[in-house]
């Protein structure tokens, strides 16, 4: 599916944020004793965070701060007999809504544009610790809840770092900051209020801009998606394709278990002059590049949570398969 299927960048950002809120616990699940240079206590907390998404129902008001822009959302997450229901509703802006329903929690589940794993296979559980260093860095108060602060530092320049605050009682992610090169905060997501309950409020009049159903993800390809096989020849160490990307000729999605990005390839007119463009909203970046692949003009788009140099190197490595 082309990123241009969204009516505006605003709607795309909504889906990206929803993926962050509902699935960031995917990176956990590592056995502390088996992981390289891992802070055992930090990894145990991350494992608790992962379990919280599969066991706990909650509702809360969340803020997302990106530079001078702030969005406020209402998020509902309910777990029932191995399935989850999630709804994210804007309380500012257009009042748009994203829903995800009937999702078997043990499966890999796609969002529509930006995919994020909700669980890692047992063989991959320590892959996260090979790409990031984890440590416990004290505690803080978030949404009136005592929280443990976890610092996550990348081991290379191809991904961002993170600072997370987890509910001491439940392990729920209450706050997350995306950090660029260990210094600049790109965005901050945090709960202003959270309550734990099995009750899901009825859907209001908000407009649903995205609904994801598993195990039949939307594999619709836009009219401009390329018809011939292609691949990405270079990826940062630790990034692997999601199985959702298979069979969709216009999209490839990759994750290291924490960061995620998607690559889209579309045909363009031969009259268009190749160039590049960049739009960054907090930690989410959209990079476009016109390419000429073996005489065929194409547009490569990389959308995700990686630095621009990573996106550029990925876009430059797109090749036709022989």
Per-residue pLDDT tens digits for 206-220: 455 444 433 333 444
117 burial type by CB count under 10 A (0-12 exposed, 13-18 middle, 19+ buried): buried
- Region 154-176: what's the mean pLDDT? 93
Of the candidate CATH numbers 3.30.450.40, 1.10.3720.10, 3.30.200.100, 3.40.50.300, the domain formed by 230-320 belongs to 3.30.200.100
E strands, the chain, where?
A: 58-66, 69-80, 83-90, 96-104, 132-142, 145-154, 161-167, 173-180, 184-196, 207-213, 230-232, 240-241, 251-255, 260-267, 276-281, 284-293, 296-304, 318-320
Encode pLDDT of 24-52 as tens digits.
544 444 444 455 555 778 878 887 887 78
Residues of the chain with CATH 3.30.200.100: 230-320
The strand pair at 276-281 and 96-104 is best described as unpaired
Name the band, by pLDDT with cuts 50, 70 and 90, for residue 145: very high
Q: Which residues contact 216 (CB under 8 A, 6 or more apart)?
A: none
Query: Which residues in the chain are classed under CATH 2.50.20.10?
Result: 3-213
CATH architecture of the domain with residue range 3-213: Clam (2.50)
| 92: its two tokens | 């500012």
Q: Are the C-beta atoms of residues 110 and 211 closer than 8 Å to each other?
A: no
Most confident of 12-26, 58-72, 156-170, 176-190: 156-170
Q: Rounded distance, CA 36 to CA 155, Å?
A: 12
What does the pLDDT average to over 125-147? Answer: 88
Greater pLDDT, 66 or 124: 66
| CB atoms closer than 10 angstroms to residue 144 | 10
Looking at per-residue pLDDT, the higher value among 44 and 194 belongs to 194
Q: How many CA atoms lie within 13 A of 302 on its CB side?
A: 27
Alpha-carbon gap, residue 226 to 266, rounded angstroms: 5
Residue 236 has pLDDT above 50, yes or no: yes
Q: What is the pLDDT of residue 9?
A: 47
Average confidence score pLDDT of the chain: 75
Q: What is the pLDDT of residues 240-258, one digit of tens each?
A: 887 655 555 788 888 887 8
Q: Give SS3 for 121.
A: coil
| Residue 28, pLDDT score | 47
176 versus 30: the higher-pLDDT residue is 176
Could you read off the pLDDT of 91-125 as tens digits, one per residue? 887 767 777 664 433 333 223 222 233 444 434 45
Average of per-residue pLDDT across 140-146:
97
Global pTM exceeds 0.75: yes
Between residues 139 and 7, which one has the greater pLDDT?
A: 139
């Amino acid at each position: 599916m082309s990123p241009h299927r969204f009516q505006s960048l605003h709607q795309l950002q909504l889906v990206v944020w929803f993926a962050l809120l509902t699935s960031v616990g995917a990176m956990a699940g590592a056995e502390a004793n088996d992981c390289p240079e891992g802070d055992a206590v930090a990894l145990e907390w991350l494992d608790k965070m992962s379990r919280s998404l599969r066991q706990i129902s909650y509702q809360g008001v969340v803020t997302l701060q990106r530079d001078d822009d702030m969005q406020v959302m209402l998020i509902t997450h309910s777990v029932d007999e191995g399935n989850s229901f999630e709804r994210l509703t804007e309380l500012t802006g257009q009042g748009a809504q994203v829903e995800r329903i009937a999702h078997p929690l043990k499966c890999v589940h796609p969002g529509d544009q930006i995919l994020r794993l909700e669980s890692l296979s047992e063989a991959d559980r320590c892959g996260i610790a090979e790409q990031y260093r984890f440590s416990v860095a004290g505690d803080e108060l978030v949404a009136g809840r005592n929280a443990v602060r976890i610092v996550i530092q990348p081991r290379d320049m191809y991904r961002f770092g993170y600072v997370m605050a987890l509910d001491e009682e439940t392990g729920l992610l209450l706050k997350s900051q995306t950090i660029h090169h260990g210094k600049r905060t790109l965005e901050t997501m945090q709960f202003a209020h959270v309550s734990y309950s099995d009750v899901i409020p009825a859907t209001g009049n908000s407009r649903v801009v995205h609904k994801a159903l598993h195990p039949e993800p939307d594999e619709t390809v836009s009219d401009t998606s390329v018809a011939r096989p292609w691949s990405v020849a270079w990826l940062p160490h630790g990034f692997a394709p999601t199985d959702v990307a298979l069979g969709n000729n216009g999209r490839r999605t990759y994750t290291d278990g924490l960061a995620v990005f998607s690559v889209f390839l579309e045909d363009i007119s031969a009259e268009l002059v190749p160039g590049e463009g960049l739009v960054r909203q907090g930690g989410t970046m959209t990079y476009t590049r016109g390419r000429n692949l073996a005489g065929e003009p194409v547009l490569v788009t990389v959308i995700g949570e990686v630095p621009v140099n990573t996106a550029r190197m990925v876009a430059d490595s797109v090749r036709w398969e022989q």
